[in-house]
Amino acid sequence: MSNLKLLLLSAVSCVVFLAGCGGGGDEGPDSEGGADATSAATAEPAGSSTVAGTINFAGTAPSPQQLNLDRECQELRDTPATSQQVVVNDDGTLRWVFVYVKEGLGDQQFGVSSEEVVLDQSGCMYEPHVIGIQTGQTLKILNSDPLLHNIHAMPEQNRPFNFGMPTAGQEREQSFRVPEVMVRIKCDVHPWMESWAGVTEHPYHAVSGDDGNFSIENLPAGDYVIEAWHERFGTQTQNVTVGDGESATVDFSFGGEAASS
């Protein structure tokens, strides 16, 4: 085992020990039970409108980039692990784009969803690569691997957290107090492991899937600014107006000449 890896494992073991003794730095407003800050919101999503669309990729799709996993991680997988930074689907659409209502909801408040958002560590990869979550909503973090990972969230507006999960079957819960697009989450033991969380104070967000599509439902009628974020290509925005019971289409295109700075 290399000296670098021994140092990493030693550092993370210290994090695990401190966290178990209440000194790991993850207790407080954004740790378990952090949803109290938004529990006063009472208005539930009650709209009947939908904004949906497709994230297209412009240009030549890059070949999947195989990741250089260490031996113990390779043994957990049936297939090679590839980078999730730019994933172009077979139909020329782009996966892992976070889309949300950036403007237009005014001062409305929305009750926190009781549904948990799950982030798993499986085969030495985060699943899913990009998530959307409300402020105060529970983020359930799982470790499906029989080895040590650490979860290191690096927000700029929220309180960071960093703790170890050394055994399979472990679960931890976290939450975010304030909106932030985006929050990077990484593993210090396995540096290729990375995930992103889009935190909004409302439930109107989505992530493009393996068909490149997204759908934001139950919106009130109104005029909105819709923003799409991609970790490599930046952000794009479009304005849209949608009436009661209506569905509006908003498509984006990233990559090549369409990439934003």
- What residue ranges do the domains of the chain occupy? 3-258
**For 115-136, how does the pLDDT look when each residue is reduced to its tens digit (9 = 90+)?**
999 999 999 999 999 999 999 9
CB 194 within 8 A of CB 185: yes
pLDDT digits (tens), the chain, 261 positions: 444 444 444 444 444 444 433 334 444 444 444 444 444 444 455 799 999 999 999 999 999 999 999 999 999 999 999 999 999 999 999 999 999 999 999 988 899 999 999 999 999 999 999 999 999 999 999 999 999 999 999 999 999 999 999 999 999 999 999 999 999 999 999 999 999 999 999 999 999 999 999 999 999 999 999 999 999 999 999 999 999 999 999 999 998 754 443
Q: Which CATH superfamily is domain 3-258 in?
A: Cupredoxins -  blue copper proteins (2.60.40.420)
Residue with tokens 């309180």: 159
* pTM for the whole structure: 0.82
Give the Cα-Cα-Cα angle 116, 121, 122 (nearest 5 degrees): 120
Give the Cα-Cα-Cα angle 132, 197, 92 (nearest 5 degrees): 75
Residue with tokens 């650490």: 150
Q: Is 65 left (phi over 0), alpha (psi -120 to 50) or beta?
A: beta
Alpha helices, H only, the chain: 3-20, 71-74
Rounded Cα gap, residues 173 and 171, in angstroms: 7
Q: Is the peptide bond before 179 cis (omega within 30 degrees of 0)?
A: no
